[in-house]
Amino acid sequence: MSFKSLGLSEPLLKAISKKGYDTPSPIQAKAIPPVLEGKDVLASAQTGTGKTAGFTLPLLHLLSENTNQRRRSIRALILTPTRELAAQVYANVKEYSEFLDIRSTVIFGGVNQKPQVATLKQGVDVLVATPGRLIDLENQGLLSLKHVEIFVLDEADRMLDMGFLRDIERVMKIMPSKRQNLMFSATFSKDIKKLAYSILNNPIQVEATPENTAVEVIEQKVYRVAKGKKTDLIIKLITDGNWKQVLVFNRTKHGANKLCKKMISSGITAAAIHGNKSQGARTKALAGFKNGSIRVLVATDIAARGLDIPLLPHVINFELPNISEDYVHRIGRTGRAGASGEAISLVSADETTFLRDIEKLIDMKIEVEILEGFEPDPNASTEPIKPGQNRNQGRGRGANNRNSGKSKSSSSDRNKSKSRNRNNDNRR
């Protein structure tokens, strides 16, 4: 199968070959044809599957072929949950539209709105946006969605997790009802299905390879360790292994900051990335991590979601996620584009239940090791960490003033595993 056989136009094929892609990924092969036919599409795909090109390429094709419509008037809107993802999707839109007469831009919060407004005033065909800033600017009368022909909702599951349901509903109201809709989600809970039902018309459903297949190519290991010794253990592993690019997951913003400071004081270059960091700080941290000047990036789940970090050799779960699916998302970052990777989890007694749930979800036992000097505490309770039990953290934007409670009981039907303790989301 080639990109050409999917029916994409020459300028797009040129941009694709400039990117160096020869073959469409499975999600691209499945999603591009129905999108080109003008159908609504519901796609099950997570980051790393090539989903961005899966919707961007046919979207650009349709916009550039259909030139009778109003140009430069936001004809396509791509909504993403996080700023990083918005920036990445926009970078893709720019690259794929290099040989087309299409203008695009991106807007998100945390940065000055003035340059964004100035670009919007000049007119754009494709807008990539996070919900908060989009609605702010619309409320101020600085943009209009009256001419949207194609609407893309990317990472819909995270949108709900972050409490953006009301914002999505608001956005739906200010777009024309006659339009093409594409919705992407990694998981399909009842809430997601309900949302899909309210957005999509007769959608074609497409699915990338099931999430769990990626898990098998990743080397996974658990170190059972006393909670108080985790920091020393992680520093030892990174130092002894001389690991150069390590993504570390923490459940809380506070924990991420603390660990990052400890790393730095041990001579390891590190940066933290989470919802309380300014956009500038997040962009800088990610750039440093990609170019090798930062060895360790300590992230919370939501902040890390959607980050395009190719060929990541090491992922460490400093703490296990309380939502089992997040484990799969986290470690999936080491197995991208066919490259193998290593995923290590530091597990203390109170995370025993989380570990058991994860093993149930991925349907495999993870190898356990105990390092001398870093033994687990035999007297520690195996009672799971409860929401609210950790140090109290600042709340994320979506969760803060929106309906964060709504997504608390969502569960992945595909994985048939219960998502628990959703109320911890506001700490990420």
Residues that bind ligand AMP (CB under 6 A): 21, 23-25, 28, 47-53, 308, 310, 337
Residue 57 CB, nearest approach to ligand AMP (Å): 9
| Dist. CA 421–CA 225, nearest whole Å | 23
Tokens of 208: 């990338």
- Among residues 21 and 243, whose Cβ is nearest to ligand AMP? 21
- Using a 10 angstrom Cβ sphere, with 0-12 exposed, 13-18 middle and 19 or more buried, the burial of residue 378 is exposed
Residue 54 CB, nearest approach to ligand AMP (Å): 7
Instruction: Using alpha carbons, list the distances in angstroms from residue 10 to 13, 33, 126, 197.
Output: 5, 16, 20, 35
Count the helices and strands in the chain (H runs, E runs). Answer: 17, 14
- Among residues 50 and 335, whose Cβ is nearest to ligand AMP? 50
- Among residues 48 and 131, whose Cβ is nearest to ligand AMP? 48
Residue 334 CB, nearest approach to ligand AMP (Å): 14
Residue 373 CB, nearest approach to ligand AMP (Å): 39
Q: Are 78 and 54 in contact (CB under 8 A)?
A: no
- Among residues 334 and 345, whose Cβ is nearest to ligand AMP? 334
Q: What is the dihedral of CA 118, 90, 41, 33, to 10 degrees?
A: 120
Tokens of 398: 């979506």
| Dist. CA 122–CA 369, nearest whole Å | 59
- Among residues 25 and 424, whose Cβ is nearest to ligand AMP? 25
Q: Are 20 and 181 in contact (CB under 8 A)?
A: no
> What is the three-class DSSP state of 410?
coil
Q: Are 304 and 330 in contact (CB under 8 A)?
A: yes
Residue 53 CB, nearest approach to ligand AMP (Å): 5
- Among residues 201 and 209, whose Cβ is nearest to ligand AMP? 209
- Among residues 240 and 337, whose Cβ is nearest to ligand AMP? 337
- Among residues 26 and 109, whose Cβ is nearest to ligand AMP? 26
Residue 72 CB, nearest approach to ligand AMP (Å): 26
| Dist. CA 158–CA 325, nearest whole Å | 12
Which residues, at least 6 apart from 300, have a Cβ–Cβ distance to it below 8 Å? 249, 250, 251, 252, 253, 256, 273, 274, 275, 427, 428
Residue 159 CB, nearest approach to ligand AMP (Å): 16
Residue 17 CB, nearest approach to ligand AMP (Å): 11
